[in-house]
Amino acid sequence: MSNSVDFDPFARFRSATRARIGLGRAGDAMPTQAVLEFQLAHARARDAVHGEVDFEKLATALAPVKTVLVHSLAKDRATYLTRPDLGRMPDSHDLPAPGKTYEIAFIIADGLSAAAVERHAASVYEATVRRLGGFSVAPVVLGKQARVAFGDEAAAAFGAQVAIVLIGERPGLSVPDSLGAYITFGPRKGRRDSERNCISNIHDDGLSYESAAEKISWLVKEALRLKLSGVDLKENAVDGISLPHGAKSLT
């Protein structure tokens, strides 16, 4: 009688992705370990959606950069999740009075993942600003209960030519802490999604901070040069997707 070892053809692929592949089975069901991992991932996704960003801590991390906390018209998380329209509109009482204008405005919005904002937003902001030397940058708007379009009016309040919204993306069962970046030229109320450029999957096992910053800065500079954004602006920056920690290339 030989001692056989089951060969797992998916083992080497798991090191390169968070996706659930080759889970196997126990009878006609998934193995217990796979079921428990799925339940844990689901719990983390729920926590990310319902969690609250500690904006005071984020402001400290961004210091000495000036920040302005602006609430949306969604006054709590439950309203935010059930009334997307209110999350797109900033509370006018929190916006600054017309004054100095800027070329670029950053808006860091909680979106649908508090974890993404708390873990990645400050680092992406810092890496991007380093690449935008020579441009005037407004105080950072911290958007509470905010969606992407929230950034249009917030940036317009600073007279900004370009809005960069860093926002927590909707969590999946593989990645609960993915950050997205949306670039809009000429931000104002009523802008369409087709008028924005999006860079997504910024997290430890996805797009690195430096690669994301390179793409964002390239798009911003081109948007200012061409005076447009969205589907008319094609992103030609070099790709820089990093493998998960400890993963080996499959090629």
198 annotated as a binding-site residue: yes
In degrees, rounded to 5, the angle at the alpha carbon of residue 166 between the alpha carbons of residues 240 and 140 is 125
- What does the alpha-carbon distance between residue 45 and residue 202 come to, in Å, rounded to a whole number? 16
Task: Tally the C-alpha atoms within 13 A of residue 10's C-alpha that lie toward its C-beta.
Answer: 9
| 3 state SS of 45 | helix
CB 74 within 8 A of CB 145: yes
**Cβ neighbours around 200 below 10 Å, total:** 15
Phi, psi of 67, deg, nearest 5: -125, 155
169 annotated as a binding-site residue: yes
Q: What is the dihedral of CA 104, 148, 171, 44, to 10 degrees?
A: 80
One-character DSSP codes across 87-140? HTSB-TTTSPPS----SEEEEEE-TT-HHHIIIIIHHHHHHHHHTTTTS-BPPE
Q: Which residues are annotated as a binding site for adenosylcob(III)alamin?
A: 148, 169, 198
Q: Which residues are annotated as a binding site?
A: 148, 169, 198
